[in-house]
Chains A and B, each alone.
Chain A
Amino acid sequence: MTMRSRNRRPAVFVLAALGLGLAAAVLHAAVGCDLNDPDRDVKRLFPGSTGYKTLYVSISRKGGGDLLQKIEARLGDRFAGLFETADVPYTMYEVYQGPDLIGYIHGVNQKGTYGALQVFLALDLQGVIKGFYFQKLTSKAAKAFRDPAFGGQFIGLSLEDFYKYDVVSGTEEPSGRISRIRNPEPAAERDFRAALRATKKNLVLVDEFLLGNPHLKFFKG
């Protein structure tokens, strides 16, 4: 114990922290939802892909309050809480096979019972779901929700189907393909509904920002 290991790093660390403190006073961007490992994840979701392009968009930049209202109307619910705001930056991935665009990947954050859900969708060029998965999920029923069988129920659905689903009441009128999605853990009904709301929000945003609103004609607001 005669040797004293005095760490000089704290000085640098705290100086950096003070500097970052100043920077943080300026930067207040909300957190987005990126793929943890885009190279790996894009390949996994689109096995034939050869590349991808990353796009960053936000409601506040694209259209502000008016656009937010339109998106809320299409979702059937208000954006709520501290973190679901118009300035959330959305990270959208265009997936390519050679020079050809073959699909899109997009994820959104959604408030769950015990924490955040990060719902990612892989979509074809018409906005039909080809893949569904939770990148992050804090739930007592996490295991059941992350089971590929649960995500598999979303494949083939599009915003046309989800327009019939009311994210507030959790019902579909008339009963259709969304009603057939089975909740794997009835005790986790709130997280199940959160997953459906996240999926609908995700599809609305992709339709608005990437597809040029081809599904708007199905919207009966």
Chain B
Amino acid sequence: MKKLSLFEVSYKSLLRKKTRSVLTILGIAMAAWVLVSLFGFNRGYEASLNKDIDNLGFQMLVVAKGCPYEAATLMLKGGTGLKYMNETIAAAVAAEPEVEGVTPMLMQVVFDPNKGESGGLAAYLGVDPVSFPKMKSVLPFKAGGWFTEPEAAEAVFGYEAAELEQREVGDLYLIPEKEVEVKVVGVLERTGTQDDGTIFLPIKTVQRIFGIRELTSIGVKVKKEADMKAFEDKLYRLPDVQVVSLSQVKTTIMTLVSTARVMVFSIALIAILIALMGVVNTVLMSVMERRQEIGILKSMGAMASDVFRLVWLETIILCVSGGLIGTGLALLTARLTDILVRGLLPFSPSGGLVSIDAGLVLAALGAVTAIGLASGIYPSWKAARMRPLDTIRSEVES
């Protein structure tokens, strides 16, 4: 009952200066809004970036030393220069504790005399029908799907490869030079990567058609907790392999993001400090205006601790109200923030850029309350140590 009355007194004190109280709450709400949105952005951006990098399939590519690992380089080399490694290397890499999964690949190139005036090259990527689709689980299909059998005479076309060859699901395709027919079972959506121009076949089919039992590359998906750098060094101990690591990409992007994040957090910190000063100022002013009232309270028997709690409670009410409004605003405007940030950033990953969950909301409310508690100490202490006679006399003199 006593606590409730204390709350009522605090609440009514704040109501006496409505405009000042509302402005103070708004200041805290803005700070909380910025805080929650920034932390939400920090989480969302990193999660989306991680997802995008995961969607690339594998973070490392182990290739035979000197072997061109992407089609463009292979074409530049005139389709020559393919180097092979033993299939056992895939098993050796898969056995490493840092590895979540591996997918073996075999690239082959043929000369197509009927491409252009003087012929051209056609490249095929043999992939494992089990492990490759798992790693490239987000490769969207425009039509069809992956292979039906591990050794099926089937092909999946990247969007541009399908467009160039005018192939659709159910069509046949002839591998030039080998004169082998394969059936098109899938056409991928356009992805903007080299997958668009790739013709995928089951790896065993490529090995059979071209009479090669070896591999040209192995895609490696590394466990999230693994030390990529140390693992990369470990892979270099394998004989005659070269490691192409996408971790460099992630590190580069995250460094850029971290720099921006430090700047943005500095701004947030300044906003919070300004809000904190606003709270201290408001409550202190309120205390100074109520000197006589506090003096009378004390002369009627109120203890210093009662006055301290009374003023402290006012601060907490201001901060908690501001915190609730601010986090509510952050939740309501998360989508808008996403759109605005996306428009400002030179590169933004797919997926939500702002991720606000219950944990973040509670943490922000806790932080704002803690700030309120801290900022209320000085005005409360000041009020608690007022001497009743001095305060009443000062009012009479004034």
Check: B225 CB closer than 8 A to any chain A CB: no
Contact of B172 among A28, A37, A82, A113 (CB under 8 A): A113
B173 — which chain A residues lie within 8 A by C-beta? 114-115, 138
CB proximity of A121 to chain B, nearest CB, Å: 16
Which label, helix, strand, loop or mixed, suits the secondary structure of the A interface? Answer: mixed
B117 — which chain A residues lie within 8 A by C-beta? 36-37, 40-41, 135
Check: A18 CB closer than 8 A to any chain B CB: yes
Interface bits B220-262 vs A (CB < 8 Å: 1, else 0):
0000000000000000100110111110110011000000000
Residues of B149-181 whose CB lies within 8 A of A: 160, 162-168, 171-174, 176, 179, 181
Contact between A11 and B248, CB atoms less than 8 A apart: yes
Determine the distance from Cα of A136 to Cα of B122 in the docked complex, in whole angstroms.
Answer: 12
Number of B residues whose C-beta is below 8 Å from A?
A: 48
Number of A residues whose C-beta is below 8 Å from B?
A: 48
Check: B56 CB closer than 8 A to any chain A CB: yes
CB proximity of A47 to chain B, nearest CB, Å: 16
Determine the distance from Cα of A5 to Cα of B67 in the docked complex, in whole angstroms.
Answer: 13
Contact between B190 and A28, CB atoms less than 8 A apart: yes
* A10-B244 contact in complex given A18-B347, A114-B181, A115-B166, C-beta closer than 8 Å: yes
Contact between B166 and A111, CB atoms less than 8 A apart: yes
Determine the distance from Cα of A209 to Cα of B65 in the docked complex, in whole angstroms.
Answer: 53
Determine the distance from Cα of A28 to Cα of B196 in the docked complex, in whole angstroms.
Answer: 12
Contact between B70 and A21, CB atoms less than 8 A apart: no
Contact between B347 and A22, CB atoms less than 8 A apart: yes
Among listed A63-71, A139-147, A158-166, A177-185, interface-contacting one: A139-147
Contact between B114 and A138, CB atoms less than 8 A apart: yes
A220 — which chain B residues lie within 8 A by C-beta? none
Contact of B193 among A20, A135, A136, A142 (CB under 8 A): A20
Contact between A17 and B192, CB atoms less than 8 A apart: yes
Contact between B114 and A24, CB atoms less than 8 A apart: no
Residues of A124-165 whose CB lies within 8 A of B: 134-140, 142, 146
Contact between B166 and A81, CB atoms less than 8 A apart: yes
Nearest-neighbor residue (CB-CB) of A84 within chain B:
B166
Check: B91 CB closer than 8 A to any chain A CB: no
B172 — which chain A residues lie within 8 A by C-beta? 113-114
CB proximity of A204 to chain B, nearest CB, Å: 18
* A115-B244 contact in complex given A23-B192, A25-B192, A134-B114, C-beta closer than 8 Å: no
Contact between B168 and A115, CB atoms less than 8 A apart: no
Check: A187 CB closer than 8 A to any chain B CB: no
Check: A31 CB closer than 8 A to any chain B CB: yes
Check: A73 CB closer than 8 A to any chain B CB: no
Determine the distance from Cα of A140 to Cα of B174 in the docked complex, in whole angstroms.
Answer: 8
Check: A7 CB closer than 8 A to any chain B CB: yes
User: Beyond A1-B240, A7-B244, A10-B248: 15 further Cβ-contacts under 8 Å?
Assistant: A4-B236, A10-B249, A14-B246, A21-B191, A21-B192, A36-B116, A83-B168, A111-B171, A112-B166, A114-B173, A115-B173, A116-B167, A137-B114, A138-B173, A146-B114
Of the A-B pairs whose beta carbons lie under 8 Å apart in the complex, a sample of 14, sorted by A's number, is A4-B236, A5-B242, A13-B70, A15-B252, A18-B249, A22-B192, A37-B117, A82-B163, A84-B166, A109-B166, A115-B173, A116-B166, A142-B113, A146-B114
